[in-house]
Homo-oligomer: A and B are copies of this chain.
Amino acid sequence: MMSGLGFLVAARQCEIDELEQLAGTIALAQALGELVHQLQRERGLSNLFVGSGGAGFGPQCLAARQDTDRAIAAAREHFDPLPGATGYPGSRARLFSRIAYALHGLDALAGLRQRLDQLALDVDAVTAAYCKLIASLLSVVFDATDNAADPEVSRLLLAYFNFVQGKEYAGQERAAGAAAYASGRCDARRQQQLLTLIDAQEECLQTFGGFADARGLASWQAAQDGLRLAELERLRRIVCTAPADGRLDPALSMTWFEHCTARIDAMKQVENALGEQLRERCEQSVAAARRDLHAHQAVLQKLVSQADAPSPPGEAAAPLAAFFEREEQAASDGAGRAGAPAYGPRMEREILAMLREQARRLQATSDELATVRAALNERKVIERAKGLLMAHRQLSEEAAYRMLRQTAMEQNRRLVDVAESVLALSSYLGGQAPAGP
């Protein structure tokens, strides 16, 4: 029969288990970050290859594919043990369903490359395909973030996810701008797309800023080069303000690509630092929880052995157990009461203090997690509203995002509030919910 003390120890052990699972989640997120980065490179080079009509960038493409394939193999090594492992916090079904979708996309990559080699796709189709694959991987990272049980790690994971997502928008901006410069012109639709991607990037980086710690913010600060940024802004201005019938200098295509790439590579360095920091933070939490458990185990061992000992026969009636006392009372005479048997009540008080301390800590954890999750939920609401608009209005993701943003600006409301209104009125839109994870 499990005693209350047994459950006290079991609860502590569970905390350690949950933190260790979190370490696995972080390793998975890092591996997926790496894979996303390789796919971003492959996407960029594939665009240049297709844009050049197959005349250039062939060898670079092949090399990038090999790097991607290595990253895929590494990611799969993180996926494989998951179904056998126990105790993933949150819905394993949802995580597995997202992984299934992402793996399905990775399986389709060979076919995409084949079509690409045959020059059977245009630059926009290539970009869209890689974006979809990357999005499916990022949704796995997001799901892992969503389920972290440690508030501080959860905050850092949220910062990490937003940084990686922001970097992906930077990658999409690179592709869109490169396509514009290479074609020598930029129409209004493309300009709108670029502005949306710049906005989305900034929003991600803002969320990152809100959840990163001082060290994370410092790495991002250090990675930004003022001159390089100024040049990027200049190139952005040129492409975004070009008149519909005006000409862009195609020679700027490579300059644009290189600038964006330097930025993305710098972001990758920051991403690596954030991942490393996350890993360290989680290790520290595990170590602290272990120390804590060991420190308490001695006390618990003593308490258990005392609890097992039979009460001396003929002992005076037990005083009312500390459990039943009002808390002020328990606190004020915690050292034992006059006339009470020597160790009985004291022992109970120790146990009770430990129970209360544990409950307090777990409650604080839940409360902090609720704060972090609120931020995660905002993203989910926006994603769902976007998906709804995409499905019902046949809009692209960008167009749906733009529509929400526009409404938010016009009505001077937060993006998430507009998204909530859209969801609340979803039945007015008719049809069904959006597909895809």
Contact = CB atoms under 8 A, between A and B. Distances in A.
Interface of A: 1-8, 10-15, 17-18, 76, 79-80, 82-83, 86-87, 89-108, 110-112, 114-115, 118, 120-121, 125, 128-129, 132-133, 149, 317-324, 326-328, 331, 348, 351-352, 355-356, 358-360, 362-367, 370, 377, 384, 391, 394, 433, 435-437
A76 B1 contact: yes
A429 B39 CA distance: 53
Contacts of A95: 11
Contacts of A355: 97, 100-101, 104, 437
B115 A317 contact: yes
Top 10 closest pairs, chain A to chain B, by CB: A108-B321, A4-B103, A359-B437, A11-B96, A7-B100, A4-B104, A14-B93, A86-B86, A10-B83, A111-B318
Nearest to A327: B435
Q: Quick one: copies of this chain in the complex?
A: 2
Nearest to A107: B4
Nearest to A118: B317
A3 B72 CA distance: 13
Nearest to A436: B356
Given A7-B96, A111-B319, 7 more contacts: A7-B100, A8-B97, A10-B100, A89-B91, A101-B359, A108-B323, A327-B435
A7 B111 contact: no
A232 to B, nearest CB: 30
A382 to B, nearest CB: 14
Given A86-B87, A384-B367, A359 B97 contact: yes
A200 B103 CA distance: 51
A2 B80 contact: yes
Is chain A's binding surface mostly helix, strand, loop or mixed?
helix
Given A2-B76, A2-B83, A318-B111, A103 B7 contact: yes
A392 to B, nearest CB: 11
B362 A97 contact: yes
A351 B98 CA distance: 13
A327 B395 CA distance: 11
15 contacts: A2-B82, A4-B101, A4-B107, A11-B100, A89-B90, A91-B362, A91-B365, A100-B358, A105-B323, A110-B318, A115-B318, A125-B320, A327-B436, A331-B435, A363-B433
A97 to B, nearest CB: 4
A129 B329 CA distance: 14
A377 B348 CA distance: 32
Contacts of A359: 97-98, 101, 435-437
Scoring A3, A6, A12, A324 by chain B CB atoms within 10 A of each residue's CB, the highest score goes to A324
A95 B328 CA distance: 25
Nearest to A5: B100
Contacts of A4: 99-104, 106-107
A360 B433 contact: yes
A323 B384 contact: no
Nearest to A139: B359
Contact of A1 (B80, B128, B370, B433): B80
Contacts of A370: 377
